[in-house]
Each structure stands twice: as C-alpha cells, then as structure tokens.
C-alpha cells in the first residue's frame, strides 16, 4: 500500500488561515499589526525568490512587511547598524536576515546583533544554545525544522522512543531538527557524506529527515517499511521536457520510497510551504510578546 502523502501545502494553508484570523482579531481589538523586517544582502536569485515569497505571505495574512535590500559591497558595520535600528523600531516585531550571507560577512556576529525577542528565524546563538540544552527553552526555533516537527507530530502522534535518522548536519536544518527530535525523546542518529554504510543506518529509521542537497540520493531499498519521511531537499535536475528545462526533486527517490514508507512529504509541496507558515506564526508570537 503506497505511503500517505504529507501535504505541507495543505497544512501550511491552515496555519496561515489561523494566523490571519488572529491578526485580524488583534487589530480589531486595537492592537498594532505584527511587523516583519527582511534584510537581503547581495544578488543571489534564490534568496531574492525566498524573500519575495515571505513578503507576499505577510501581506496575505495581514502582517506588515518591511524589506531592505543591500548590495554585496555592504560592510559588516553597515549591516549590523541596520539590524540595531530595526531592533529599536516598535513597528518591527521580527527581523529576518536572509542566509546565507555573501562571503566575507561574520554571520554569527550579524545574528547575535538581532534582539532575542525579534529573532523569529530562530538563529540567534542564544536561541540555538537554549535549544541544545536540557531544561532551557528558546524563544524561537528555526522555521524549517519547526515545520518538519509540526508535520511529523501531525502524522506520528508518538515520537518518543522512535529511531530518528537525520541525513545532513547544516546549521539551518540538520542540527536544529536533530535537537528538536531529541527534545521529543526520539533516539537520534545524525549522518552525512562521511558516514559509513549510509543505507544500513537509514534502514533503522522509523523517522527519516533528509537535508543533504543530493538529488534522489536515498533509494527505496534504504527505507524501513512504514517509516515516516520528511524530505527537506530541493534539487534541480535537468529535464528538457519541462518549460524551465529542469524539474525539482528531493533528496529521496520519491517513486521508490512511496511504495515502502508509511508517510512521506512530496517535493515540491512538502516542507517548503511550512517554512514560511512557521515564520508567520513566529512573527505573530513576537508581536504578542511585545504588545500583549
């Protein structure tokens, strides 16, 4: 029996609707609109697309969006000065500095300059540090890992005691999602390109989260029957039959895995929509913290 398809598009639609409803109710009660500032440095086309998507999503749910686009020649000091200015702006509840920054920037210094209460992207070193420590609670967690967990918890009510494998160890997805799974009392293995016997490790997984950026790397015979798969990978594969000359695939060979897994996210339409939905939710939370 083919796997259940976990539609991030549908789940995100409901989250957006809930955020829009609450924003409207708060505005009607005399509260200020939540505000999100996006800061984009350089001319990376993918980053521009991501930021535009976030700004459009804000408009759709009634959140004010403030966009700042800076040239790659911007200095570290200029970037951090802008962040500090946004920290002091009461109309701005959340600050998102689009990552990755161009080469030459001290990313940690920039992220550290964001006020903790406005770190809706969840990458401030203190928020990440709290996420990694038992008994400490971050104010915000990174949006893509948060979206992964939201989908997992919807389709797998009991994560505790499950074997979870995270393929990829990036600061943006792999490491934070592993920490969130540990908090949910899963038994977590983090693997990567230098791990020995990747297929053997992955075959032990009740839960598999892939964020390695290698198209269709995980084959169907690597999957434990009934496993839940969250595929974060977004990879372009040449395909002359498509209008753009390529198709988008995940890190998992979907056609093979769907015949073995219990549930799986598609690419596209899986994790991607959830990232923005969780960002909107965090921005609303930041506004409630600031304005009651």
Domain ranges of the chain: 30-115, 143-272
56 an active-site residue? no
User: Residue 292: which residues within 8 A CB-CB, separation 6 or more?
Assistant: 31
pLDDT, residue 270, reads 97
Residue with tokens 């499950």: 162
pLDDT at position 1: 81
The DSSP element (H or E) to which 167 belongs, if any, is: strand 163-167
- 244: annotated active-site residue: no
**Is 168 marked as a binding-site residue?**
yes
* 234 in a labelled binding site: yes
Instruction: Work out the average pLDDT over 74-99.
Output: 97
Distance (Å, rounded) from C-alpha 163 to C-alpha 17? 33
pLDDT in tens, 108-121: 999 999 999 999 99
Give the active site residue among 28, 43, 49, 54.
54
At the topology level, CATH places domain 143-272 in Rossmann fold (3.40.50)
Establish whether 115 is an annotated binding residue: no
Task: Give this prediction's pTM.
Answer: 0.95
- Please count the other Cβ atoms lying within 10 Å of the Cβ belonging to residue 49: 10
Question: How far is it, in rounded angstroms, from Cα 181 to Cα 284?
Answer: 24
> What are the tokens at 162?
């499950």
Q: Are 265 and 8 in contact (CB under 8 A)?
A: yes
Does 54 qualify as catalytic in the annotation?
A: yes
Q: With H, G, I as helix, E, B as strand and everything else as coil, classify residue 102.
A: coil
Q: Which residue has the tokens 């695939």?
A: 249
Catalytic residue among 98, 162, 224, 281: 98
The structural architecture, per CATH, of the domain 30-115 is 3-Layer(aba) Sandwich (3.40)
**Residue 149 near residue 271 (C-beta atoms within 8 A):** no
Tell me if domain 30-115 and domain 143-272 are identical in fold: yes
- Which is the catalytic residue, given 118, 119, 121, 206? 121
- Encode pLDDT of 183-204 as tens digits: 999 999 999 988 999 999 999 9
Confidence check: pLDDT of 180 > 90: yes
Number of neighbours of residue 193 by Cβ within 10 angstroms? 11
The tally of CA atoms less than 13 A away on the side-chain side of residue 202 is 28
Residue 46 has pLDDT above 90, yes or no: no
Q: Confidence band (pLDDT; 50, 70, 90) for 253?
A: very high
For 254, the 3-state DSSP assignment is helix
């Amino acid at each position: 029996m083919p796997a259940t398809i976990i539609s991030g598009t549908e789940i995100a639609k409901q989250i957006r609707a809930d955020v829009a409803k609450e924003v409207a109710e708060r505005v009607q009660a005399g509260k200020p609109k939540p505000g999100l500032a996006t800061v984009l440095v350089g001319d990376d086309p993918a980053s521009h697309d991501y930021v535009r998507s976030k700004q459009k999503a804000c408009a759709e749910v009634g959140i004010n969006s403030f966009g700042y686009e800076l040239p790659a020649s911007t200095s570290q000091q200029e970037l951090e000065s802008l962040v500090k200015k946004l920290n002091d702006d009461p109309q701005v509840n959340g600050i998102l500095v689009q990552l990755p920054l161009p080469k030459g920037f001290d990313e940690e210094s920039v992220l550290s300059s964001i006020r903790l209460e406005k770190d809706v992207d969840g990458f401030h070193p203190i928020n990440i540090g709290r996420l990694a420590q038992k008994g400490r609670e971050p104010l915000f967690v990174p949006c893509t890992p948060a979206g992964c967990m939201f989908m997992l918890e919807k389709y797998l009510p009991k994560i505790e005691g499950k074997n979870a494998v995270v393929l990829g160890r990036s600061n943006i997805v792999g490491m934070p999602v592993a920490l969130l799974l540990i908090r949910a009392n899963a038994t977590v293995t983090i693997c990567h390109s230098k791990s020995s016997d990747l297929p053997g490790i992955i075959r032990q997984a009740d839960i598999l989260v892939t964020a390695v950026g290698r198209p269709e790397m995980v084959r169907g015979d690597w999957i434990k029957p009934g496993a839940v798969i969250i595929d974060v990978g977004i990879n372009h594969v040449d395909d002359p039959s498509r209008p753009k000359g390529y198709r988008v695939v995940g890190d998992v060979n979907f056609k093979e895995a769907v015949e073995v897994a219990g549930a799986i996210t598609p690419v596209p339409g899986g994790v991607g929509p959830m990232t923005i939905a969780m960002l909107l939710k965090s921005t609303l939370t930041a506004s409630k913290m600031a304005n009651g």
